[in-house]
């Protein structure tokens, strides 16, 4: 950074040039109302991101609560329309980028928002949701979560949910989902399945990370894995850029760089100190919410606690591109990792949706 300060502002670094000419997507920014701070989105835009997928929902998650939260957010964002816009289709995402705006889309980190009502999946699509986790750490009516010892597969209802997500064009997302359930979802889905924010278990043995078997299965069907910036999942409490790169590099070496993306999960950690009381409220009212005694088991005894973790920051993006260049990643590979790969999955979902109608 000190070196940069001495350079004239016009002499952009090669990394910046790549960033500025790319789709740069972060597939997971948790955005419960307790986090709402437009400055964070400004930082994303300044760092060069073009698209951020927000988790906008209430907790415990309900459809009505999600709709309400989205409406509240829209009101808040209306005042920022000079640089911020909403986009769920690729056309909207591209238009926003051309206008120089940061585009935000929607995800859901639970299928509990639909309860037992398959029809709500189409309603979620209408609302703008484009990827949805099957389960969040613990078992629901659809699948097992990654913290479940029983590690069961998809339920009968879960299979219907995957098929309906395929039909309406919501990408199946298996982050936080149990191993067997995720492998079954990849197998069953007609479209590529993603892990929007998961790291490699081989590098960091944490329940939230995914095994090489899951990575291979996901990639074999055209899916993409977004590496997550949370220190506990990186195996580096400081969340250094090199640590994030190790996960990128492991996945790229295993299945190819075209199956890697970013899902940093940033705010989750940034604000945890400020909102300790809120987290406690969620934790005590809801057993599903992870607490150290319940939903974050540490089978290897090596996991770094989330509370002690930092998170990969938007400002580290340029650094990350530099590291990838330093490791001889090609321009095409880097652009894919920055956003092109997830864009490909979105495009496939849109094409299939159009074809089915």
Partner 1 sequence: MSGKSSELALQSPPARFDFGLTVEQEARAAALHRRCVVVDLVSQHAGGALFAHYPEELQLEFRVRIDACSNDMSRFLESLYWPYELSKTGRSDLIRDWYHAAGITCGTYGIAVQDGRDDFENQWDAMARRYADLPWLKYVTTAGEIRQAKRDAVVAFYAHCQPTAAIPRDFKAFDTAYSKGLRSFMLTYNLMNELGVGCTERVDAGLSRFGLDVVRHCNEIGMMVDVSHCGDATTLDACRHSRHPVNANHTAARTVFPHARGKSDQGLRAIAETGGVIGIVAVPAFLTGAAVPSIEHMLDHIDHVAKLIGWQHVAIGTDWPLQAPDDVLKSILSPSNTVLGFRDEDRLDVTTRLIGFDDCRDLPNITRGLVARGYADEQIAGILGENALRVFAAVCG
Binding site for partner 1 (CB under 8 A): 60, 112, 115-116, 138-141, 144, 147-159, 285-288, 294-295
CB closer to partner 1, 39 vs 116: 116
Burial-class residue 237 by CB neighbours within 10 Å (0-12, 13-18, 19+): middle
CB closer to partner 1, 139 vs 247: 139
Task: Please calculate the CA angle 147-174-30 and round it to the nearest 5 degrees.
Answer: 85
SS3 38: helix
**Are 269 and 311 a contacting pair, CB within 8 Å?**
yes
Which H or E run includes 339?
none
Least separation in angstroms between CB 134 and partner 1: 12
Alpha carbons 20 and 13: distance in angstroms, whole number:
11
Least separation in angstroms between CB 62 and partner 1: 8
CB closer to partner 1, 31 vs 63: 63
**Are 145 and 137 a contacting pair, CB within 8 Å?**
yes
Least separation in angstroms between CB 63 and partner 1: 12
Whole-angstrom CA distances from 197 to 221, 226, 320 are: 18, 5, 17
Angle between helices 241-255 and 317-326 (to 10 degrees): 50
The pair of three-digit structure tokens given for residue 322, joined into one six-digit string: 């530099």
CB closer to partner 1, 150 vs 253: 150
Least separation in angstroms between CB 123 and partner 1: 17
Which H or E run includes 30?
strand 25-30
CB atoms within 10 A of CB 6: 6
Least separation in angstroms between CB 260 and partner 1: 31
Alpha carbons 132 and 26: distance in angstroms, whole number:
15
CB closer to partner 1, 140 vs 241: 140
CB closer to partner 1, 225 vs 295: 295
Least separation in angstroms between CB 180 and partner 1: 8
Least separation in angstroms between CB 141 and partner 1: 6
**Are 295 and 147 a contacting pair, CB within 8 Å?**
yes
CB closer to partner 1, 60 vs 222: 60
């Amino acid at each position: 950074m000190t070196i940069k300060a001495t350079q004239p502002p016009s002499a952009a670094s090669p990394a910046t040039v790549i960033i500025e000419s790319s789709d740069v997507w972060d597939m997971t920014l948790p955005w419960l109302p307790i986090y709402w701070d437009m400055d964070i989105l400004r930082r994303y835009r300044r760092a060069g991101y073009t698209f951020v997928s927000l988790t906008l929902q209430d907790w415990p998650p309900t459809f009505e609560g999600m709709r309400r939260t989205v409406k509240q957010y829209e009101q808040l964002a209306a005042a920022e329309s000079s640089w911020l816009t909403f986009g769920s289709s690729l056309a909207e995402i591209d238009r926003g980028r051309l206008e120089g705006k940061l585009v935000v889309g929607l995800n859901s980190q639970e299928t509990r928002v639909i309860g037992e009502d398959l029809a709500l999946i189409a309603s979620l699509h209408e609302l703008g949701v484009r990827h949805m986790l099957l389960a969040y750490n613990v078992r629901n009516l659809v699948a097992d979560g990654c913290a479940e010892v029983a590690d069961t597969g998809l339920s009968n209802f879960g299979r219907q949910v995957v098929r309906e997500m395929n039909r309406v064009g919501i990408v199946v997302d298996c982050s936080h989902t149990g191993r067997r359930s995720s492998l079954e979802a990849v197998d069953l889905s007609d479209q590529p399945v993603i892990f929007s924010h998961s790291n490699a278990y081989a590098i960091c043995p944490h329940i939230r990370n995914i095994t090489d078997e899951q990575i291979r299965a996901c990639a074999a069907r055209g899916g993409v894995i977004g590496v997550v910036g949370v220190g506990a999942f990186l195996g580096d409490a400081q969340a250094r850029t090199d640590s994030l790169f190790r996960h990128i590099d492991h996945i790229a070496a295993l299945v190819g760089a075209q199956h890697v993306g970013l899902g940093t999960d940033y705010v989750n950690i940034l604000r945890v100190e400020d909102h300790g009381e809120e987290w406690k409220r969620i934790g005590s009212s809801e057993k599903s919410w992870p607490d150290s005694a319940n939903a974050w088991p540490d089978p290897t005894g090596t996991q770094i606690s989330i509370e002690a973790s930092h998170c990969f920051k938007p400002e580290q993006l340029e650094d990350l591109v530099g590291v990838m260049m330093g490791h001889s990643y090609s321009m095409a590979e880097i652009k894919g990792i920055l956003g092109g790969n997830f864009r490909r999955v979105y495009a496939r979902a849109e094409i299939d949706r159009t074809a089915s109608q």
